[in-house]
Structure 1
Amino acid sequence: MIIVAVYPITTHNIHDTNTNHVFDCTICLPTMAALTTTTASVLYHRSVVNLNFKHQSSLTSSRYRRISCMAATATKVIPSIIVGGGRVGQALEEMGSGEDLLVKRGEPVPVDFPGPILVCTRNDDLDAVLQSTPQSRWSDLVFFQNGMLEPWFQSKGLGDADQVLAYFAVSKLGEPPVDGITDANPEGLTAAYGKWASVVATRLNAGGLSCKVLEKEPFQKQMLEKLIWISAFMLVGARHPGATVGDVERDFRFEVISLIGELASAAAAEKGIVFEVGIEERLLAYARAVSHFPTAVKEFKWRNGWFYSLSEKAIAQGKEDPCPLHTKWLKELNIVQ
C-alpha cells in the first residue's frame, strides 16, 4: 500500500503488536502541532491491524515533498452479489468497491454476475433464497447465518456449502460493524470456510474486521462452539427475564457453564470430534465482549432445536437423554412439551 501526501514529514518506527515487527517509515502529518500518540490502521498481510507509534518532537521543518510508506500490498475486494439488505448485508456492501449487486428478499439472483453470492438473510428465508438462485450458481452461495445449517444443506443437496461464522455486530442499519474480539481470542473469532473463503476474508479485512480461513474440521468445531454459545446463553437468560448476555456471564455463571459442558459433550459425541481445551473460558469471554446483547430463545429449529433432536433420538432408542438439563429448562419455559 502506498501512502502519498504533500504534508510536512517526519520519521518514525512503527511497531506491529500482532507480529512484533518494527517498520522504519516516513509519515506525513497534516498539522504543525506536537503530537503524542497517533494510531494508524493499515492493511498488513490482508489483515487490518493497529500500528501504534509516537511522534517524538514537534514538526519544525517547512519542507514539503512526495513521500511514501510501504506496509503491504492491498488486495482488491472482489465484486459480489449480496442477498439481503439488512444490517449485515449493507455493512458488507460498504466494505466493497462499489461494484457489488445488492439483491433484496424475493428478488431473483442473476446467473451472469460472477463472484460469490453472500447470503445475509434470516434462516427462515433460506428456502426462498435458494428458489430465487439459479441451480448453476448454488456452489457460489456463502451463508452468513447463525445456527446449525448442516441438516438443511444436506436436505437441499448443497454438500460442503461455504459458510462464515460472523463474530461481529452491527448495532443498527448503516452503522459500522464492531469486531467480536475477546480477551481469550485477541486475534478475532470470525472464520470462513469454502472455495470463496479467502475472498470473504479480504472483504472483511477491508472493513477493519478480522477473519480466519479454516479447513472443514476446525471450522466445524468453531461452528459448534458458536452454536453452543448462543443456545446456552439464550436459554439461561430466558430463565431470568430481562437478563442480558452480560448478566448471564456474571450472575448465572454456574448455570451457563453447566449447560455449556452438557451441550459440548453431546455435540462432540454426535460429530465424533474433540473440542480444544478451554471451551467454557472462550465462550464466557465472548459473552463479556457482547455483554449488552439481550437474551431470548429464537429460531429454535436452527439453534436449541438441534440439541433437542439429539435428546429425542436418544430417548427413542431407549438411551439416556444426552442433554437432560437442556431438556428440563426447555420444558420449564414451555418451549417444548
Structure 2
Amino acid sequence: MISPSIGLCCCSTRTTLLWSRCTMSTSSPTTIVPAIIIGGGRVGTALQTMGNGTDLMIKRGQSVPSDFPGPILVCTRNDDLEAVLESTPHSRWKDLVFFQNGMLEPWFQSKGLQDAGQVLAYFAVSKLGEPPVDGKTDTNPEGLTAAYGKWASAVATRLESGGLSCKVLEKEAFEKQMLEKLIWICAFMLVGARHPGATVGAVEKEYRSEVANLISELASAAAAEKGIVFEQAMEERLCAYSRAVAHFPTAVKEFKWRNGWFYSLTKKAVTEGKPDPCPLHTEWLKELKII
C-alpha cells in the first residue's frame, strides 16, 4: 500500500503534452470503466469506492482472471510486484497500471514492461475507508496527479469521480514528473533522517539549505543520466509541496526503489573512474549507515 508520507509529491506541470482536468460533466453521468484492483489497502479501497460497484478486488494469494476486461490497478508495496506479475496472466500485463512510488524503470525493463501504465499519485488516504485528499500547492493549485499509458484516461476519469485532479501525459513528460517526484522523496526523506524527529515541514523550514543543495545535486545527476532538461524552479515546486504536507514524518525507506537508484549512478561512475555525481547524497547515506 502507499503510505501518506510517500503517496504525494510535487512535480512541474509545464511539460504537460496532454491535459485532462477530469472535470465531471453536469449534463451526463461519468462512465467509470470497471477495473481489477490488486491490493485492498488504503489506496486500493479508495479506488474501489470511486467505481460503480463492478470492480474486482484481488488480495494477496489470489490470481488475476484472464477474462475480466479493463485496467488492472496495482496498489501493492513495491516489493510485492514480483508476486503481482506471477499472479497475472502474461496476456494481461499490457493492462497493468502501477500506482507505486519510486524508480520503477529498471524493473519494468527487466520484465519487458517498458510501456507499462503508471500513475503518479499525489493524493493521500490517511486511514482505510477515508476519502483521499488531493495534493495541491500554491505553485500547482490545479493538482499534481498524473497518469500515463493505455488506461490513463480511464484512470483519470475514475479519480475525478472521487474529487481528485489528474493529468494525462505522454511518456517524455511523464518521465520528467516521475523523476521530479523521485527527487522529492529522496531529498526530503534523507535530510529529515539526518535530523531525528524532523517532519517534511521542518526540513523545508529549518533545513532549507541542506535540502536545496541535495535537490540540485540529484536533479543534475538525473538529467545527465536520462539526457533531459528539467523545468526551472524545481526547488520552489518541491518546497511548495512540502509545505502542503508539512506534518508528514521523514524516513529513508524502500532504498532499492528510491535513493538506491541515485546510489547506483554513484557506483557506476566510480567503477568507470569518474567523479561521484552525487557526493553529498553518498556522504549522508554513509553518515546514516544506510550504505
Q: Normalising by structure 1, what TM-score? A: 0.79
Aligned partners of 1:187 and 1:136: how far apart in 2?
A: 36
Per the alignment, residue 21 of structure 1 pairs with: none
Bigger RCO (CA 8 Å, 6+ sep)? 2
Per the alignment, residue 314 of structure 1 pairs with: 269
Shift of 1:293: 0.8
Tell me, yes or no, if structure 1 residue 182 matches structure 2 residue 158. Answer: no
Tell me, yes or no, if structure 1 residue 217 matches structure 2 residue 172. Answer: yes
- Structure 1 counterpart SS, 2:136: coil
Question: Match for 1:179: what amino acid?
Answer: D
Tell me, yes or no, if structure 1 residue 170 matches structure 2 residue 125. Answer: yes
Per the alignment, residue 196 of structure 1 pairs with: 151
Asked if the contact 1:82–1:93 (Cα under 8 Å) also holds between the matched residues in 2, the reply is: yes
Per the alignment, residue 9 of structure 1 pairs with: none
Shift of 1:330: 0.1
Question: Match for 1:181: what amino acid?
Answer: K
Aligned partners of 1:114 and 1:217: how far apart in 2?
A: 28
For residues 61-94 of structure 1, what are the alpha-carbon distances to aligned partners after superposition, in whole Å with 9 as ceiling and x for unaligned? xxxxxxxxx8343321110000000000000000
Number of paired residues?
A: 272
Question: Match for 1:254: what amino acid?
Answer: S
Aligned partners of 2:231 and 2:238: how far apart in 1?
A: 12
Per the alignment, residue 83 of structure 2 pairs with: 128
Give 1:275's match in structure 2, choosing from 208, 226, 230: 230
Shift of 1:313: 0.2
**Counterpart mapping for 1:181-330 below 5 A:** 181-330=136-285
**Counterpart mapping for 1:99-178 below 5 A:** 99-178=54-133
Change (3 A) 1:45 1:221: closer
Asked if the contact 1:46–1:74 (Cα under 8 Å) also holds between the matched residues in 2, the reply is: no
Asked if the contact 1:106–1:129 (Cα under 8 Å) also holds between the matched residues in 2, the reply is: no
Moved more, 193-202 or 151-160: 151-160
Structure with greater helix percent: 2
For residues 142-174 of structure 1, what are the alpha-carbon distances to aligned partners after superposition, in whole Å with 9 as ceiling and x for unaligned? 000000000000111112110000000001111
Per the alignment, residue 44 of structure 2 pairs with: 89
Give 1:332's match in structure 2, choosing from 261, 279, 287: 287
Tell me, yes or no, if structure 1 residue 46 matches structure 2 residue 1. Answer: no
Give 2:33's match in structure 1, choosing from 70, 78, 87: 78
Aligned partners of 1:331 and 1:124: how far apart in 2?
A: 24
Aligned partners of 2:26 and 2:82: how far apart in 1?
A: 44
Aligned partners of 1:130 and 1:248: how far apart in 2?
A: 37
Asked if the contact 1:81–1:117 (Cα under 8 Å) also holds between the matched residues in 2, the reply is: yes
Structure with greater strand percent: 1
- Structure 2 counterpart SS, 1:192: strand
| Structure label with greater radius of gyration | 1
Aligned partners of 2:64 and 2:90: how far apart in 1?
A: 10
Aligned partners of 1:166 and 1:235: how far apart in 2?
A: 21
Per the alignment, residue 22 of structure 1 pairs with: none
Asked if the contact 1:120–1:144 (Cα under 8 Å) also holds between the matched residues in 2, the reply is: yes
Aligned partners of 2:207 and 2:279: how far apart in 1?
A: 18
For residues 92-147 of structure 1, what are the alpha-carbon distances to aligned partners after superposition, in whole Å with 9 as ceiling and x for unaligned? 00000010000012210110000000000000000000000000000000000000
For residues 18-46 of structure 1, what are the alpha-carbon distances to aligned partners after superposition, in whole Å with 9 as ceiling and x for unaligned? xxxxxxxxxxxxxxxxxxxxxxxxxx973
- Structure 1 counterpart SS, 2:230: coil
Cα RMSD for the two superposed structures: 1.2
Aligned partners of 1:45 and 1:156: how far apart in 2?
A: 32
Aligned partners of 1:267 and 1:190: how far apart in 2?
A: 21
Asked if the contact 2:21–2:165 (Cα under 8 Å) also holds between the matched residues in 1, the reply is: no
Aligned partners of 2:96 and 2:152: how far apart in 1?
A: 11
- Structure 1 counterpart SS, 2:229: coil
Percent identical pairs in the alignment equals 77
**Counterpart mapping for 1:22-61 below 5 A:** 46-47=22-23
Shift of 1:256: 0.4
Per the alignment, residue 12 of structure 2 pairs with: none
Shift of 1:222: 0.3
Aligned partners of 1:214 and 1:161: how far apart in 2?
A: 13
